[in-house]
Amino acid sequence: MTQADSEGPKAYYLIEIAIHDLERYKNYPVGVEPLIKRFGGRYLVRGGEAVSLEGDAPAGRIIVLEFPSMKAAQDFANCDEYPAVAEHRMASSTSRIMLVEGL
């Protein structure tokens, strides 16, 4: 990661995930965590109790990842290794993933 990658606003992945095959899903965190770290990302929220204050309750776990920049977050998602890792998540869960630029 270059100095330019850490300038400007941070970026956040907001993930809602409902796991329907826990055994297969277990392969996803093992493969994705090193990639997240490689691109300067870190977990801010990883599961835990979620309470809906307005609107529908989450359909599953909530995960929030922080990256140093939008470029770093997009580089993570577009790296060559990610599709093979993401296959485990997609085959074992239903998810909504948003990428949001922070202040």
Closest CA to 11 of 77, 85, 83: 77
Domain boundaries defined on the chain: 8-101
The pTM of this model reads 0.86
Q: How does residue 49 score in pLDDT terms, banded at 50, 70 and 90?
A: confident
Instruction: Report the pLDDT value the prediction gives residue 6, as an integer from 0 to 100.
Output: 53
Instruction: Encode pLDDT of 15-43 as tens digits.
Output: 999 999 999 999 999 999 999 999 999 99
Identity at 69, one-letter amino acid code = S
Beta bridge partners of 18: 94
Instruction: Report the pLDDT value the prediction gives residue 79, as an integer from 0 to 100.
Output: 97
pLDDT surpassing 90 at residue 7: no
- Answer yes or no: CATH 3.30.70.100 is held by domain 8-101: yes
Better-predicted residue by pLDDT, 48 or 40: 40
